[in-house]
Structure 1
Amino acid sequence: MTVKETITTGKAILGIEFGSTRIKAVLIDENNKPIAQGCHEWENSLVDGLWTYSIEEIWYGLQDCYANLLKDVKAQYDCVIESLSAIGISAMMHGYMVFDENDKILVPFRTWRNTNTGKAAAELSELFVYNIPLRWSISHLYECILEDNEHVKNIKYLTTLAGYIHWQLTGKKVLGVGDASGMLPIDPETKDYNKEMVEKFDKLVQPKGYSWKLLDILPEVLCAGENAGVLTDEGAKRLDVSGNMKGGIPFCPPEGDAGTGMVATNAVKQRTGNVSAGTSSFSMIVLEKDLSKPSEMIDMVTTPDGSLVAMVHCNNCTSDINAWVKLFKEYQELLGVPVDMNEVYGKLYNNAMTGDADCGGVLAYNYISGEPVTGLADGRPMVVRSANDKFNLANLFRSHLYATVAVLKLGNDILFNEEKVKVDRITGHGGLFKTKGVGQRVLAAALNSPISVMETAGEGGAWGIALLASYLVNKEAKSLADYLEYVVFDGNTGTAISPTPEDVEGFNKYIESYKAGLAIEQAAVDHKK
């Protein structure tokens, strides 16, 4: 069957993911290979001190992204999409979207990036004896309760961005277990919200006299492979403004970007892991057993099929180094030299690896926004050096590259050194790894572990959610891990780079200075509020 026949007979599968800077759609064939894509660039806004995207931006972005996919299909295959085998929706996890009885949003969508929930997260962590991060939906909800926000009494539904879009397209108030694990802790046995914690929360807020209890307002939890509804006729019109799309297409459970990253890197099996490194970064290690104690640096979430995962999430990764690269772009333009951004990145990144393994003493803090893992409520990007440090271009950029994964190292040191977690394979994906070998080498030094990168990892989370949609209709009797291992990836584990003793020693020296220098970052935050 040709690709055009795959599309015109409705055999193709669609995955759409809402990232923090880009909405991306990937169309795949029966063999799970990408055959077309579309995207829409967007950016969050700071409104009344909170990071958000408007409802209008969400729908315009979805429709524009899908329209761009249709243009790609038309250009490549001269046909249109009328039906599909399955669809999946994914988005950045966590955050706060609440709706009233008329399905009207009560306050602007609050994204994962907000760090205003410190009091709520601390109190819930103590109550649950479990690390509850600032960005989790339950933290946002409880912070609104602590602040006596008027809208709380009117809540009928609380969900994530992926859950919201899925609900509007299918009418189903459901969520994949991985995304749900970023709302409220999941019991790995039942693969549902932790019953004991639900009861503790309801008892805690009972004096407020709300008409709802927690489970009344949360989405139903589903695992990978479970049917999550079908595209309604109204949903088809909202997705495809051209009017060609027909309803009735099955949907897989909506998932978070962490889960789709695990799928896209074949890292849902125990003792595997992945690192996603872009605007933000996170590492996901699939555990064989629960950790011995909670840690503020480690979030416990799940794979899309409900296995326990230790997650280290960092708000900041490549934004600051991208800003530095743009400075050199400006310099080239001043000289009248034509600019190829891929070449600029390649030259600067590769040159960085000729610098000193410890960056010659130069420190970089890439905190565009606050960094909860290191206790910074706000961000101040900075370079710190003394007069005696070896300050040159290679060391400057090597320091910035180290900074992209420094906070990840702090969290993973707890897993590997204290908890003695074992991992057989870690796969990297995202923008940090676009310059071949450089991001891989830096991460290998940071984690003191071989790092693999796959050619397909560049397809990202949109491909990951498309694979989950494919699993829905093609799983037969296979587990998700086996489906990925033997059907999708067929044994391909990518190209690995192992750390060198010199790089590991240099990164360890850098990180000790980095930890000591956090007081400087805090002072900068305090100085300029």
Structure 2
Amino acid sequence: MSKYNDDLFNHMSLGIEFGSTRIKCVAIDDDFESIAVGVYEWENKFINGFWTYSINDVWIGIQKSYKHLVEQLEEIFGKKVTTFKSIGISAMMHGYLAFDKNDDLLVPFRTWRNTTTNQAAEELTKLFEFNIPERWSIAHYHQALLNNEEHVKNIEFITTLSGYVHWYLTGEKVLGIGDASGMFPINEKSKDYNEKFVKKYNELIKNSEIDISSLLPKIKLAGEVAGKLTPDGAKLLDPDSNLIAGIPFCAPEGDAGTGMVATNSVEIGTCNISAGTSAFSMLVLEDQLKNLHPEIDMVTTPTGKPVAMVHTNNCTSEINEWVNLFGELLDLFDYKYSKEELYNILFNQSLIADENTGNLINYGYISGENITNIDIGAPMLLRKSNANFNIANLMKSLIYSSFATLKIGMDILTQEEKKNIKHIVAHGGIFNSGEVAQDILAGVLNTNVSTMKTSNEGGAWGIAVLSKFIHEENFTLEEYLKEEVFTDVDIVSSDVNSDAKANFNNYLEDYKKYLSVEREADNLLKSGDKNV
């Protein structure tokens, strides 16, 4: 970095991502290398019937992760961090943050994980003849309207988590088109909210005298400057007051969009899968799907290309619970270990599992799941009477389960819509324990699966790259990623193993067969049965 001399930090871009378990800051240089990383751990909570994060934690987390990052930079370079070339904000897509005319939050943040909007989602899907998932902001808003919630009459602005943080740092109520496509359907030609659907919705709620488009953030595309750091924003991000206002921002984006960037998957025909607390696949399309599928969301790339998204609310949470349980046992023996070591050992143990996972079937439904019609969720491990219950089979069943619902959705794309997916780039926490999960996923989806070094940094790196893109005028985003960013990247690939494919398909048959047990538990929970 000495080549930059005193202009050092003007050659670095900052990406900040609000993930489901971590708030992460990444500083990258002009060669797109990560120079420093700051992390703050946080968790969602189920309060008064909704999955939520504390808004205080948003600001505590961003300040602590940023401080962690700048301490590293200052130790490396021996000088205070006062500026960056550009900044970008990424966060979990979807959800509901509603504000009044005084910019006060009206109800606690309702995240993508909530499955409380079924009535609204069904009504809007029928109205638009376009799938509106329960997670989308418009579904949350409309359900609140249907429920006659007191706060609705005071709403002046609705946004997502990335849009909220960006707004407070820049003063701009804008959103990247990818994240906006999880609020309200997008017209891919006009690159704006679908005008026909806006009109239909306004007619539906005409008694409320609200124009829905006036409540939504303005849309920005990748490459456009979406505001600059204000003096108040600088103090919010850096309470030590070293950071100077005026740094340009790219449009805030959702984790799906930044995941596409981090895996070089924005061209038509490319596909990536993110697997962490939730899991989703993103297949970039040439045009819209032929049919409406409630299991598939139609969203966009950061430049507005149509994307078929298969989203599952549950992926690794149940794996994490079991790993924590094994860790607690080791703690009782006062055994010293690292979490990374424990994950690696347990994942590798799955390699010696029985072909039928010992007749163990796992449902990792910490929360509800739209694709399999689970409203609340009840984590469940089923053992047949002849089960071979050991750690290897348990871990294999847990990993299989984390991908099972995603596979059900992906089959709609490949079998019903006849989409040919030749290659997938995967990223997310489940792929951090060697190549075990990656190899399994290749068998699950019957497709070559790759991981990249860059994708390990996830959305924080992806949004940092998008923030750099605002300084480019001679490239499309596709060209920029191919010719500038991904010219020399480490790639690890897993090919399809026919035995692994057959073993998972057998597991999935049982998984589908016994879903009725999971649904019965779900129904009992919904009815308030205290014996569940």
TM-score, normalized by length of structure 2?
Answer: 0.96
Structure 1 pair 126/6, CA: closer, same or farther in 2 (3 Å)?
Answer: farther
Structure 1 pair 238/334, CA: closer, same or farther in 2 (3 Å)?
Answer: closer
Question: Equivalent residues in 2 for 1:25-424 (5 A)?
Answer: 25-208=25-208, 210=209, 212-424=210-422
Match of 1:500 in 2: 497
Aligned partner of 1:453 among 448, 451, 454: 451
Structure 1, unaligned stretches of length 5 or more? none
Alignment check: 8 A CA contact 2:182 2:299 kept: yes
Match of 2:466 in 1: 468
Q: Which moved more, 1:503-512 or 1:53-62?
A: 53-62
State how far apart, in whole Å, the 2-side matches of 1:371 and 1:399 are.
18
State how far apart, in whole Å, the 1-side matches of 2:8 and 2:345 are.
44
Match of 2:432 in 1: 434
Q: Which moved more, 1:348-357 or 1:378-387?
A: 348-357
State how far apart, in whole Å, the 2-side matches of 1:331 and 1:378 are.
29
Structure 1 pair 482/425, CA: closer, same or farther in 2 (3 Å)?
Answer: farther
> Residue type matched to 1:159 in 2?
T
Match of 2:514 in 1: 517
State how far apart, in whole Å, the 1-side matches of 2:355 and 2:304 are.
39
State how far apart, in whole Å, the 2-side matches of 1:423 and 1:523 are.
35
Match of 1:13 in 2: 13
Structure 1 pair 324/469, CA: closer, same or farther in 2 (3 Å)?
Answer: same
Structure 1 pair 125/79, CA: closer, same or farther in 2 (3 Å)?
Answer: same
TM-aligned CA deviation for residue 47 of structure 1: 2.4
TM-aligned CA deviation for residue 65 of structure 1: 1.5
State how far apart, in whole Å, the 2-side matches of 1:336 and 1:236 are.
45
State how far apart, in whole Å, the 1-side matches of 2:292 and 2:326 are.
43
- Cα offsets for 1:232-289 (capped at 9, x unmatched): 1121111111111111111100000111111111111111111111111111111122
Alignment check: 8 A CA contact 2:454 2:489 kept: no
> Residue type matched to 1:436 in 2?
G
Q: Which moved more, 1:460-469 or 1:285-294?
A: 285-294
- Cα offsets for 1:210-236 (capped at 9, x unmatched): 3x3011111111110011011111211
Quick one: percent identity of the two aligned structures? 48
Structure 1 pair 3/442, CA: closer, same or farther in 2 (3 Å)?
Answer: farther
Alignment check: 8 A CA contact 2:427 2:456 kept: yes
> Residue type matched to 1:268 in 2?
V
- Cα offsets for 1:109-165 (capped at 9, x unmatched): 111111111100010011111111111000000001101122212211111111111
TM-aligned CA deviation for residue 404 of structure 1: 0.7
State how far apart, in whole Å, the 2-side matches of 1:345 and 1:41 are.
18
- Cα offsets for 1:405-431 (capped at 9, x unmatched): 111100001101111112343111111
State how far apart, in whole Å, the 2-side matches of 1:325 and 1:7 are.
46
Other structure's SS at 2:352 match: coil
Alignment check: 8 A CA contact 1:6 1:29 kept: no
Other structure's SS at 2:455 match: helix
2:481 paired with 1:484: yes
> Residue type matched to 1:360 in 2?
G
TM-aligned CA deviation for residue 7 of structure 1: 6.5
TM-aligned CA deviation for residue 391 of structure 1: 3.1
- Cα offsets for 1:316-372 (capped at 9, x unmatched): 111111111222223333344332322222222112122233323211001111111
State how far apart, in whole Å, the 2-side matches of 1:9 and 1:117 are.
45
Structure 1 pair 493/335, CA: closer, same or farther in 2 (3 Å)?
Answer: closer
State how far apart, in whole Å, the 2-side matches of 1:29 and 1:472 are.
15
State how far apart, in whole Å, the 1-side matches of 2:118 and 2:244 are.
45
Alignment check: 8 A CA contact 2:45 2:52 kept: yes
Alignment check: 8 A CA contact 2:278 2:316 kept: yes
Structure 1 pair 9/65, CA: closer, same or farther in 2 (3 Å)?
Answer: closer
Alignment check: 8 A CA contact 1:86 1:249 kept: yes
TM-score, normalized by length of structure 1?
Answer: 0.96
TM-aligned CA deviation for residue 54 of structure 1: 2.7
Alignment check: 8 A CA contact 2:74 2:81 kept: no
Match of 2:442 in 1: 444
TM-aligned CA deviation for residue 493 of structure 1: 6.9
TM-aligned CA deviation for residue 3 of structure 1: 7.3
Structure 1 pair 161/336, CA: closer, same or farther in 2 (3 Å)?
Answer: closer
TM-aligned CA deviation for residue 9 of structure 1: 4.7
Structure 2, unaligned stretches of length 5 or more? none
State how far apart, in whole Å, the 1-side matches of 2:5 and 2:361 are.
55
Structure 1 pair 7/241, CA: closer, same or farther in 2 (3 Å)?
Answer: farther
Dislocated runs of 4+, deviation >4 Å: none
State how far apart, in whole Å, the 2-side matches of 1:38 and 1:153 are.
40
Alignment check: 8 A CA contact 2:453 2:489 kept: no
Structure 1 pair 6/378, CA: closer, same or farther in 2 (3 Å)?
Answer: farther
Paired residues, number:
526
Other structure's SS at 1:371 match: coil
Q: Which moved more, 1:427-436 or 1:389-398?
A: 389-398
Alignment check: 8 A CA contact 1:287 1:421 kept: no
